[in-house]
Amino acid sequence: MTLYNIHAMGIQAHCSDLIIDPQDMETIYFMSVCGYQVTVKGIVANLLENCGLSIEVDKEEHYLERSDMGYRVQIKKLPSGLVHAVVIPNLAIPGSNEEKQKRFLVITSEDRDILTLFFLHLNEKTEIPLHSSWTSWLWKTFKKQDNWLIELQTLAGDFKGYLFDYHPTQLHDLISEAIRKKVPEIIRCMARKGGNGDGTSNIA
C-alpha cells in the first residue's frame, strides 16, 4: 500500500485511497486517510467545509475540493493508536435514501462486485421493473448513452469508481424496444420453465 501526504491549512495526514473526477481532476468522490486523530479530523473537516486540500501523486500536485453530493464519514481508531477515516458520498451507499435522484455511484475494490452494485443501485432508484439477468445488457446500454456512465479516476489505492446519471423515460423506452425486438438478454427471463425461450412448449 502506497501512502501519499495530504495537506490542509498547515496539517498533514496520509492518504491511501483517492478517487476524483476524471475531467477537472479536483473533485473528490472517495477518500481514505490515516494519521493522528487531530490531523485526520482536520483533513476531513477541511474537505467537508470545502476549504481545500492538496496532495502530490507522481510528482503532480492536485488541489482538491468536495463534490456537490452529501458525504458519509466513517472514523475508526486503529490498534496502533492512529485513526483511519473513510469519506464516501451517500449516493454510493446502497439503501441510502437521503438523496433520491437519478444519480448514483459504485465504488468498490473488487471487480466482481461492480455489476452487482450497479444493478442494486439502479433497481433502488428506478420505478421500472428490472430483472437481475439484464445486468450486463443494462451496463452496455448505459455505456452507449452520453454521460450515463462515467468511470472516475483512481488517483491513489485500488478502489474503482463509476458515476451514473441516467434518464428514466429514455431507459424505459430502451427496455421496451429491447422487449419488442426480442433481445435474448432481455426476454430470456420471460421464458416459461421447460419452454423454448419464446413462451411456448413442445408437447409430446
List, for residues 78-99, the tens digit of each pLDDT value. Answer: 999 999 999 999 999 887 765 5
Domain regions of the chain by residue span: 4-190
- Helix (H) or strand (E) holding 13, with range, is strand 11-20
d(CA 88, CA 196): 46
List, for residues 5-48, the tens digit of each pLDDT value. Answer: 999 988 999 999 999 999 887 899 999 999 999 999 999 999 99
First vs last C-alpha separation in the chain: 63
Query: And the C-alpha cell for 114?
Result: 461492480
Where is pLDDT greater, at 142 or 194? 142
Q: What is the mean predicted confidence (pLDDT) over 103-115? A: 95
- What confidence score (pLDDT) does residue 192 get? 53
Q: What is the mean predicted confidence (pLDDT) over 60-77? A: 92
d(CA 188, CA 133): 8
- What confidence score (pLDDT) does residue 100 get? 58
Query: And the C-alpha cell for 129?
Result: 421493473
Query: And the C-alpha cell for 158?
Result: 485500488
- What confidence score (pLDDT) does residue 98 get? 58
Residue 121 pLDDT more than 50?
A: yes
